[in-house]
Amino acid sequence: MKFHLPLVLLGAALLTAPAVLGQATSGVMGFSTLNCPTGTTLVVPTLVNPSVFQGQAAISADGLTITPTTAPGWAAGAYNATSFSAPTPNYPRFYAEVVSGTNEGLILDILSNSASELTMASAVIPAGIRGTTVQIAIREHVTLDKIVQGATGLTAYADAANLFGPTGATITRIFDGSSWVAGDYTTPAGHSVIYPGSGFSFSAASTVVFSFMGEVKPTKTKVPMYQAGVNIVGNLNPASALLIYGSSFKEALSPYADGFNRFSADGNMTTLGTYFSDGAQMLDGAYNPLAPTATDSVPVNRGVVVSVSADAVVTLNSPLAP
Amino acid sequence: MKLFSSSILAFVFACFASSATAAVTVGHIENGTVGEFLTSSGAAVAAGGVSIGIFTDGGGTPITVSDSAVASATSFADLVALGYKDVRSLSGATAAGGTDWDFPSPVSGSYNSIAISALPAGTQLYLLAFNAGSFVSGAPSTSFAGATEWAVIKDTGDHLSPADLGTKSLLLNTVIASDILVGADKGNNVTMASLAAIPEPSRALLGLMGFMALLARRRR
């Protein structure tokens, strides 16, 4: 299958204004396309929305609030989660991300905000980060509606996405011609969130081409993987595939117990390879170490399906700071 | 009319949604870190191999078989008669290059592309080991011929088939004593037990009584 991968750097200037000033910075903007043939494809967007705030912030001792050290002057409610009436599902709209230090890449969902404080959707974890001051960035989540912007070939009520929750639940979203609806074909669900480094399985009735546009993520990304869930994980690099040999999966996977499958991109989801880790290096499906020359990779804008024996986190490097 | 349209849409979606190959992977490795099968005397297993499988009815649907029925089997053929299917017999199963589940160690490897329809998520997997023979594709009931020892693991907490597209690696270091239907827990390792039919105590007792009677008669 032909891979379209023009990475257009729309804004190459990473502004160097001190983040402590509490302002948003513009990063490297990118453009990337994904060709989905008829059938099923794993989709993991490689670009994120630009940050709307960056700065130092203190996390409360209970982990429920984050307060910038310099008054940010936010509009109250600007980062609030959605608040639709049932049965429409609600999602966080923005997230705060730790952008430096040992917790770099941690994604923290925002429930609401005042002019000076963020209230988090749940107490932030790991608990060790509570009561500390960290550098954060705030970004709007990528949603299914964002993903279909500029897409071609979509077929209403035939094309569908399956998202997978932490508990293993499958969440079906159906394209209705302009947005997405839930599995009942009526409930609005275009605001369903796709977390950085995570993805969904997409079923196309005929060839669909997604055109992703956004910021090339300049920092690491921590991607949670759930024991009970189907974890579709991919790299946040819009320019090149992630070589499995030497990848950070080797530390993230429990030795010999956890593994992942890589699939064909022809719509048939044929298993191309199975991979494990021994804790220090990546293994192939026969549990033999991958050779340094192995070209096995996680394709751009696609993912692998990871199975873990206990909840785990994989930390993916930024393509700008590998 | 609206209901009719919705039905059509649902049908179209259902037809389409099933077009992809849905498959899972099952793997197994033995080494000093994650544990190994050993003979009943604790020695490395020199021959035989490992089988991972499920019990199904005639239509391929997973079924529950009593632990006592499994444990009382005296051959692989007995297990097959109970509905046992090695994952290598399931639709789509494809060995990753280098996969080898036969003793002597190293035993390692996985089978992927197993149809989720043949191995639904959450199905109890059984991990078996035999000290002779090997799995015979196409004639499973003849598998592991000559085995005199075996082990049967039913790890209800960990050895369950994965969700669609997922991977399950069956390890021995997750196994606790109560998971072992046949064999014994030795730390990370599991030792085998006798596979041969054990004489019933009553029969042995009758034989002993007959022998004693014969001795008594000769003395008279």
Q: Does B169 touch chain A (CB under 8 A)?
A: yes
Mean of the per-residue pLDDT values of chain A? 91
Read off the pLDDT of each residue in A234-238 and give the average, rounded to a whole number.
Answer: 95
What's the gap in Å between the CA of B3 and the closest CA on chain A?
12
In contact, A286 and A298? CB cutoff 8 Å: no
- Contacting residues of A for B97, CB less than 8 Å apart: 284-286
β-sheet bridge partners, residue A231: A306
Position B209 scores a pLDDT of: 59
Percent of chain B predicted with pLDDT > 90: 74
Residue in chain B lying closest to A162 (CA): B17
Considering only CA atoms, give the Rg of chain B.
Answer: 22
How many A/B residue pairs have CB atoms within 8 Å?
124
How many helices (H) and strands (E) in chain B? 4, 13
If DSSP codes are grouped into helix, strand and coil, which group holds residue B205? Answer: helix
A318 forms beta bridges with: A321
User: What is the pLDDT at residue B207?
Assistant: 55
- Residue A169's pLDDT band (boundaries 50, 70, 90)? confident
Identity of residue A45: P
Q: What confidence tens digit (pLDDT) does each residue in B69-109 have?
A: 999 999 999 999 999 999 999 999 999 888 999 999 789 99
Q: Are A258 and A205 in contact (CB under 8 A)?
A: no
> CB contact, 8 Å: A281 with chain B?
no
Q: Which residue of B has its CA nearest to A172?
A: B17
Distance between CA atoms of A180 and A192, rounded to whole angstroms?
A: 9
B20 touches A203 (CB < 8 A):
yes
Under 8 Å between Cβ of B137 and B176: no
Mutation for testing the B interface, residue in A174, A254, A272, A274 having most B CBs under 10 Å: A274
Kindly list the residues from chain A whose CB atom is less than 8 angstroms away from the CB atom of residue B163: 168, 229-230, 307
Comparing CA positions, the residue from A304, A303, A263, A259 lying closest to residue A284 is: A259
Q: Which of B22-26, B171-175, B207-211 has the least mean pLDDT?
A: B207-211
Mean pLDDT, residues A157-173: 90
Q: Please report the pLDDT score of residue A147 as a whole number.
A: 96
Q: Which of A30-34, A235-239, A286-290, B17-21 has the lowest mean pLDDT?
A: B17-21
Top pLDDT among B199 and B88 is at B88
Residue B123 has pLDDT above 50, yes or no: yes
Q: Which of A171, A127, A174 is nearest to A154 (CA)?
A: A174
* Helical (H) or strand (E) element with B209: helix B201-219
- Quote the pLDDT of residue B153: 98
Segments making up each domain of chain A, as ranges: 51-140, 217-316
In this structure, the dihedral spanned by the alpha carbons of residues A134, A140, A144 and A145, taken in order and rounded to 10 degrees, is 180
**pLDDT range class, residue A229, cuts 50, 70, 90:** confident
